[in-house]
A and B are shown apart, each in its own frame.
Chain A
Amino acid sequence: MLGLLFEGLKTTFQPQIFFVLLLGVAGGIAIGALPGLTATTGVAVLLPLTFGMDATAALVMLVGVYIGAIYGGSIPAILLKTPGTPAGAATVLDGYSLTTQGEAAKALSMATIASFTGGMTSTIMLITISPILANFALKFSAPEYFALAVFGLSIIASISGTNPIKGLLAGFFGLFIATVGMDPITSLPRFTFGKLALLNGFAVIPVLIGLFAVAEALVQMEKILEEEYAIKTKFKKAIISLKELIKVAPTMLKSALLGTFIGAVPGAGADIAAFTAYNEARRSSKHPEKFGTGVLEGIAAPEAANNGVTGGALVPLLTLGVPGDAVAAIMLGALIIQGLQPGPLLFQKNADVVYGLFGAMLIGNILMLTLGLLGIKVFGKIIEIPKKIIVPIIISLSIVGAYAMNNSIFDIWVALAFGVIGYIMQKIEMPASPIVLAIILGPMAETNLRKAMLMYQGDWSFLYTRPITVVFLFLAVFSVVSSYVRMQKSIKNAAGSEQESNS
């Protein structure tokens, strides 16, 4: 394995690969730093640029954007009190407090180092765990994959914010989208209305670009006329000292591992990781009351955790072919475009690509650290680019991105339609990420269910006679039920506190 990893590192240092990685990380930081543009949007918008690259370069660039964007979200969180990405929201609490005290440089350097620690830790975990997991997953056949896909889909309930039912409905809408086109087993056309363009179904990329980039552009338009610029804050040049760094190191490591774990659970992403780690750091702190007033742990914990997700989210993607979050789902799309089948066989058939990716993640995190520390003074400038300029650029990139996959104008219409759908969904507080997971996992569930039925000659017994299948199906039921119970609890708590405040 070390030999393969060394080869991977060597690949990363090839000039063109290194260049796309640098471009990806720098572009990712800029995208993450622009409020409103998330890592998902960034990866979706930049994905079309990778169509012409070879598989390694394409994945390296996307993973660079991912690493950069998750980190970049902390910059406006600290400087403007506006998180660039949902994952950066927890960083606002202590990060902005430090900025008001004139310690923005300290806060930014803390966030950079914590993000680096999180990214590195999770990459190392990814490199050590995933080959073992992939080896295990090699034993899976159709029934197991069906159960795994159902488990992945069940996770939708737990990532759906306040109302899991709405998230599940969005997921089922995604499942419907996935069934449009030719049926995977018999090639019978479904829901195509006789339209030739729909025979192959909705292409995933235009749908993603619509839901995440076009919809975001439409949302940004709402407030574009009243856009204001934050007053520039003066800041001292002092960055974090070695003594302070040593003090927060345990929090950083713990949060990094927590983030890796949360990232590896399919469906749970960087935002959940950041808040969980923040709460855990506060809970276990000796001075929890100081959190929110500008303590370094309050920056270190969420930043280490959200970058910890980057490696974690790739574990199920590479080993099982199940995306860990929305970004991983897009990367799965990228793998398929490159003609690679994500899953355990990837480690045998395309070890060069996998280890190239690992190498790039190690180097990418170092690049992020370097750019982050060097850029502290420049960041103020990036976040001042007005949205009025950004929105037309996002829209132009979305158009070409949707078009480029199949050279089809129909796909741009698809992206626009899903942009409008995504915009309406935001209005009615229905999450869009479940649609992506469903589009990817739906065909996996259906195809494997039908293959399993063929294997068992029409007998359903595979659902309860195969241990791994049973475990996944049990986990699926557990995940839906537990998120529903959690919702009921939070409703009760909210109702209770309302009554208290009324009385």
Chain B
Amino acid sequence: MKQANIITSIIFILFGFWIIYASKSFEQTFLSDNFIGADFFPRIMAIIMIILAVFLLITTFYDKTLKDTKISDILNKKMKLPIAGTFVLIVYLLVMEFLGFIIATIALNLVLLLIFRVKKLQYLVLVPLLTTIIIYYAFSNFLMVPLPQGLFSF
């Protein structure tokens, strides 16, 4: 966790400074009764965030109980499927507006099952179809949520 903690603190320190920088652009309104402006809260927040991150950095160096796990032990092969899954979801979101909810979601479920190496044909057919149709029916008829229809509307 040591490396991870150090990287985490650095990210939060940079993030805090960015918040302070970005909050500079919040123009003050000229309301006479506005005692603390829109930038007050974000700035206080960012300052405490930086202090905490520095604190984490210092305690990480002094904490001898922390396991000396390298960041490479955390980011390892195990992440292959989650990364693949995220990628599939990004593609899904990009094509959903063209394909419409039904086709895109059936495809999404099928692709996910395939990358999970599900081989049974009945699962590959039933899970995508049933999931999509039940969700579509429940949301568009029962809850009146208009899901994207895409080019091929039903």
Q: Which residues does A use to contact B, with CB under 8 Å? A: 48-49, 51-52, 163, 165-166, 168-169, 172-173, 175-176, 179, 183, 185-186, 188, 190-191, 217-219, 221-225, 388-389, 391-393, 395-397, 399-400, 403-404, 407, 409, 412-413, 416, 419-420, 423, 427-430, 445-446, 449-450, 453-454, 457-458, 491, 494-495, 498
Q: Are B35 and A169 in contact (CB under 8 A)?
A: no
- Which of B41, B78, B105, B131 makes the CB contact (< 8 A) with A179? B41
Chain A residues whose CB sits within 8 angstroms of the CB of B1 once the complex forms: 428-429
Other A-B contacts than A168-B52, A222-B78, 17 sampled, CB-CB below 8 A, are A49-B138, A165-B52, A169-B12, A169-B52, A169-B56, A172-B45, A176-B42, A183-B26, A218-B86, A225-B117, A389-B118, A391-B116, A392-B128, A393-B109, A395-B108, A400-B139, A427-B75
Per DSSP, chain A at the interface is helix
Which B17-32 residues sit within 8 Å CB-CB of chain A?
Answer: 19, 22-23, 26-27, 29, 31
Smallest CB gap from A412: residue in B? B93
Q: Are B35 and A453 in contact (CB under 8 A)?
A: yes
Contact with A along B126-145 (1 / 0, CB 8 A): 01100110010011001111
- Which of B23, B42, B117, B132 makes the CB contact (< 8 A) with A396? B132
How far apart sit A399 and B23, CA to CA, in the bound complex (Å)?
32
> What are some 29 contacts across the A-B interface (CB < 8 A)?
A51-B145, A52-B142, A52-B144, A165-B56, A169-B52, A173-B12, A175-B45, A176-B45, A185-B34, A186-B31, A186-B34, A219-B82, A221-B82, A222-B82, A224-B116, A225-B116, A389-B118, A391-B112, A392-B112, A393-B109, A395-B85, A395-B108, A400-B147, A404-B145, A409-B93, A409-B97, A416-B89, A420-B86, A454-B35
Chain B residues whose CB sits within 8 angstroms of the CB of A186 once the complex forms: 29, 31, 34, 37-38
Smallest CB gap from A459: residue in B? B35
Given known contacts A185-B38, A397-B135, A423 and B23 CB-to-CB distance under 8 angstroms = no
Residue B123 interfacial (CB < 8 Å): yes
How far apart sit A224 and B117, CA to CA, in the bound complex (Å)?
9
Q: Are B113 and A388 in contact (CB under 8 A)?
A: yes
Smallest CB gap from B88: residue in A? A395
Q: Are A450 and B36 in contact (CB under 8 A)?
A: yes
Chain A residues whose CB sits within 8 angstroms of the CB of B108 once the complex forms: 392, 395-396
Q: Are B49 and A454 in contact (CB under 8 A)?
A: no
Q: Are A457 and B35 in contact (CB under 8 A)?
A: yes
Chain B interface size, as a band, is 35 or more
Smallest CB gap from B50: residue in A? A172
Given known contacts A179-B42, A400-B135, A416-B86, A388 and B144 CB-to-CB distance under 8 angstroms = no
Which B48-84 residues sit within 8 Å CB-CB of chain A?
Answer: 48-49, 52-53, 55-56, 59, 63-65, 74-75, 78-79, 81-82
Q: Are A430 and B8 in contact (CB under 8 A)?
A: yes
A-B contact count (CB 8 A): 173
Q: Are B127 and A393 in contact (CB under 8 A)?
A: yes
Given known contacts A393-B131, A409-B96, A494-B65, A166 and B34 CB-to-CB distance under 8 angstroms = no
Chain A residues whose CB sits within 8 angstroms of the CB of B38 once the complex forms: 183, 185-186, 188, 190
Smallest CB gap from A438: residue in B? B45
What is the CB-to-nearest-CB distance from B109 to chain A, in angstroms, rounded to a whole number?
5
What 9 pairs between A and B have smallest CB-CB spacing?
A458-B35, A52-B143, A183-B38, A221-B81, A218-B82, A453-B35, A172-B49, A494-B65, A392-B112
Q: Are A179 and B112 in contact (CB under 8 A)?
A: no
How far apart sit A218 and B88, CA to CA, in the bound complex (Å)?
12
Chain B residues whose CB sits within 8 angstroms of the CB of A429 once the complex forms: 1, 4
- Which of A221, A400, A428 makes the CB contact (< 8 A) with B8? A428
Chain B residues whose CB sits within 8 angstroms of the CB of A190 once the complex forms: 23, 26, 38, 42
- Which of B4, B27, B63 makes the CB contact (< 8 A) with A491? B63
Chain B residues whose CB sits within 8 angstroms of the CB of A165 once the complex forms: 52, 55-56, 59
Q: Are B74 and A427 in contact (CB under 8 A)?
A: yes
Smallest CB gap from B113: residue in A? A392
Chain A residues whose CB sits within 8 angstroms of the CB of B52 once the complex forms: 165, 168-169, 172
What is the CB-to-nearest-CB distance from A175 to chain B, in angstroms, rounded to a whole number?
5
Smallest CB gap from B84: residue in A? A221
Chain A residues whose CB sits within 8 angstroms of the CB of B146 once the complex forms: 407
Among A409, A420, A428, the one with the most B-chain Cβ atoms within 10 Å of its Cβ is: A428
Chain B residues whose CB sits within 8 angstroms of the CB of A397 once the complex forms: 135
Q: Are B85 and A217 in contact (CB under 8 A)?
A: yes
Q: Are A404 and B35 in contact (CB under 8 A)?
A: no
Given known contacts A188-B27, A446-B41, A495 and B65 CB-to-CB distance under 8 angstroms = yes
Q: Are B45 and A166 in contact (CB under 8 A)?
A: no
Chain A residues whose CB sits within 8 angstroms of the CB of B19 once the complex forms: 176, 191
Chain B residues whose CB sits within 8 angstroms of the CB of A221 once the complex forms: 81-82, 85, 116
Smallest CB gap from A182: residue in B? B38
How far apart sit A188 and B49, CA to CA, in the bound complex (Å)?
23
